[in-house]
Amino acid sequence: MLDNLVVDRIIYVRHGETPWNVSGRLQGQRDIPLDPAGREQAAAAGASVKTYLGADFDRTMASTAIWCSPLLRTRETMEIALGAMGEAGRPFAMDDRLKEISFGDWEGMMWSEVDRIDPTAEARRARDKWGFVPPGGESYAQLVERIKPFFEALSGDALVVSHGGVARALMNLIGGLPGDEAAIAEIHQGRVLIFEGDRYYWI
């Protein structure tokens, strides 16, 4: 069991919707672009950040580290969100540790296709969604271990655009949400999640 990580403040945005989100395909670390709704969600998230920071926006953004998963859907989300904040073209850093949880051999499949090749897989995963490791992939528990060094190294405020799985891992790592609850937590697209101290909340 990991001790809860305490952070200054992480302004966290999940990437916008993609065609694979709509169709129910397991994206994992596949490089899928945003769809039109996803681009709207990214802009909405950027507008929410600007509203949330209010009069402190310029001062806060001047000292905020900006990080992004290197996958296309997160990079597009970051660029659109920054544009909505009036920060178009602002550079940001990327780190492979911010990539989505890997579904390994299942990436690109729908659950109906997974069921055809392994009829018991979905039931096994449902029994321990936090600890289950897809073939060639990783579990949420392993994802926590992957991202922990990155977030431990942050100091001060950070704006992070990443993925739903990473947000769930942070709910466990920072907020102390038990793994079985974190694994099924709904992570909204187009909304912003704040991690501060040892807690988290949506804005």
Give the residue carrying structure tokens 């169709």.
23
Whose tokens are 């321990």? That residue is 128
Q: Give catalytic residues, as residue numbers.
A: 15, 100
Q: Render the burial of 63-80: b for 16+ CB within 10 Å, e for the rest.
A: ebebbbbebebbbbbbbb
Angle formed at CA 94 by CA 32 and CA 99, multiple of 5 degrees:
45
**In the chain, alpha helices (H):** 19-23, 36-53, 57-62, 72-84, 111-117, 121-127, 140-152, 164-173, 179-182
Identify whether the C-beta of residue 112 lies closer than 8 Å to the C-beta of residue 106.
no
Cβ neighbours around 123 below 10 Å, total: 9
Beta-carbon count within 10 A of 176 CB: 16
